[in-house]
Chains A and B, each alone.
Chain A
């Protein structure tokens, strides 16, 4: 049992007041270790809310530096941070919000060589990445390591997310393998309304806090999708697929795969998208 200081009781009073959370729930949050992969559009709100909530230890993986074009939605980074590694910029804000949080920074790409080693240090993983190879890598590594994770994806005015616990539907149950390189546009190619990142990221943060406190029903075996143009939200029931290559009864994948990263090109690209893409990445 943690001895809460007066300051902590005050800081977390709105959690402690919640019947479903209380002192016990807050203690679980403070003992929790969460890995956030990607300190971008999703990782920003996720990290800010988890830090404010008092998650004990937050790991952040990101090999990028802050770019001016990130600031439209990546609210953890400020104008003064342009050019700074995203993990450093994020660490600074987390510490400013809540000095009690221990922050681990990984200024590198998550790939097959480091994923399992990094993930094993944490209790829950949040996917805030912008590309399919790493989304599949996170899925496979978490399934192999028996770790729960929150999947998130956004594009234009849409978002989708689900939560995986061991034994429930995984990303590969829904999508067998990554789309061909360049076939599906990313935000840096097709654009995204900035606030969509906040909408989806805060859902992921809420799921993370629900996981640790045991409150309510997680988005397991359900894919939540929303369209901000109509503000229609929908949860599609999805089932664990017994023939799934990673979590099925006869898995055929026994090692992590580094799928090719999409070069800055679209199979069906428009010149405007390509221009935006060139601007962003080079």
Chain B
């Protein structure tokens, strides 16, 4: 087991774990639309399967939020 931080909250995960798998585990809605940062660097979508997470990694999911005017 390893501890990583997802959107600021600690999470116990089993390694090995890549970013795509983490997205699945977290039930991220519409993953095709989410932006992902790993340790404050943007992770390109095509790299998600390749990026192996490790202890103390910080992962942030950024979501579109479009409202405002109408």
User: Known contacts being A236-B62, A239-B41, is A41 close to B33, with CB within 8 Å?
Assistant: no
Given contacts A173-B42, A174-B35, A234-B7, contact A159 B69 (CB under 8 A): no
Q: In angstroms, how far is the closest chain A Cβ from the Cβ of B4?
A: 15
Say yes or no: A155-B65 contact (C-beta < 8 A), given A238-B37, A239-B42.
yes
**Partner-A contacts on B (CB < 8 A):** 7-8, 30, 33, 35, 37, 40-42, 60, 62-70
Closest Cβ of chain A: how far from B48's Cβ, in Å?
Answer: 14
A220, chain B: closest CB distance, angstroms: 14
Whether A175 contacts B64 by the Cβ 8 Å rule is: yes
Q: Please give the distance in Å from B36's CB to the nearest CB on chain A.
A: 11
Q: Is A112 an interface residue (CB 8 A)?
A: no
Does A198 have its Cβ within 8 Å of any Cβ on chain B? no
A residues less than 8 Å from B70 (CB atoms) = 40-41, 64, 70, 130, 186-188, 280
A154 at the interface (CB under 8 A from B): yes
| Whole-angstrom CA separation of A158 from B66 in the bound complex | 11
Contact, CB under 8 Å: B37 / A130? no
Secondary structure call for the A interface: mixed
Q: Are B66 and A184 in contact (CB under 8 A)?
A: yes
Given contacts A40-B69, A179-B64, 18 further A-B contacts (CB under 8 A): A64-B69, A130-B66, A130-B67, A130-B69, A130-B70, A131-B66, A152-B68, A153-B64, A154-B65, A155-B65, A174-B35, A175-B62, A176-B35, A184-B30, A184-B64, A187-B68, A237-B40, A239-B42
Please tell me if A202 contacts chain B, counting CB pairs below 8 Å. no
Kindly list chain A residues whose C-beta atoms are within 8 Å of the C-beta of B30: 183-184
Determine if B64 and A132 form an interchain contact, defined as CB atoms under 8 angstroms apart. Answer: yes
B65 contacts across to A, CB distance below 8 A: 153-155, 158-160
B7, B37, B69 interface centre (most CB from chain A within 10 Å): B69
With both beta carbons as reference points, the residue of chain A lying nearest to B45 in the complex is identified as: A176
For the complex, is A207 an interface residue (Cβ under 8 Å from B)?
no
| Given A174-B62, A184-B30, A234-B8: A153 touches B67 (CB 8 Å cut-off) | yes
Q: Is A128 an interface residue (CB 8 A)?
A: yes
Give chain B residues whose Cβ lies under 8 Å from the Cβ of A62. Answer: 69
Contacts of A128 in B (CB 8 A): 68-69
In the complex, A29 has a CB within 8 A of chain B: no
Alpha-carbon separation in the docked complex, A278 to B70 (Å): 13
* Nearest Cβ on chain A to B31's Cβ, whole angstroms: 12
A153 — which chain B residues lie within 8 A by C-beta? 64-68
Q: With a CB–CB cut-off of 8 A, which chain B residues contact A223?
A: 62
Q: List 9 A-B contacts (CB under 8 A).
A: A39-B69, A43-B68, A128-B68, A130-B66, A184-B66, A190-B67, A236-B62, A237-B40, A238-B37
Closest partner residue, chain A, to B68 (CB atom): A42
Which residues of A are found within 8 Å of B62, using beta-carbon distances?
Answer: 174-175, 223, 236, 238
